[in-house]
Copies of this chain bind each other. A is one copy, B any other.
């Protein structure tokens, strides 16, 4: 049996999927009175819910056009590209929007340690009712 060389990473695999902007779809998103929409981030591999952030229209456009997840930080009042500092980047695989247009679902390939600044893979690492406040089971 001959060895096969590992496949060269495609540009999509290494950079995330550039979805592109369709104006009609963007117009279907209803930003709240702060100009924000909640964005659920889900692992495209095992479907774990990793985090929830907020996007304004510009952050959503950046997410759709760069292949990376962009958010608006309410506390810092600035844009942030997930993992740009930590290296724990999210490569966009798909972006969905809900029936009312008031929530977004970003399916990503999570690089590095995970999505959470605590070092946990998911920000939802704690379950109600669990005595330790830190459930062993994974969040999906």
Residues of A at the B interface (CB closer than 8 Å) are 19-22, 24-25, 38, 40, 42, 44, 46-49, 51-52, 64, 94-100, 102-103, 105, 107, 116-118, 120, 123-129, 133, 135, 137, 139-140
Contact = CB atoms under 8 A, between A and B. Distances in A.
B127 A99 contact: no
Please give the count of copies of this chain that the complex contains.
2
Contacts of A21: 128
28 contacts: A19-B128, A21-B128, A22-B128, A25-B128, A25-B129, A38-B38, A38-B52, A40-B49, A40-B52, A42-B140, A47-B48, A51-B98, A94-B135, A94-B137, A95-B128, A96-B135, A96-B139, A97-B124, A97-B126, A97-B128, A98-B123, A99-B116, A99-B117, A99-B118, A99-B123, A99-B125, A100-B123, A105-B124
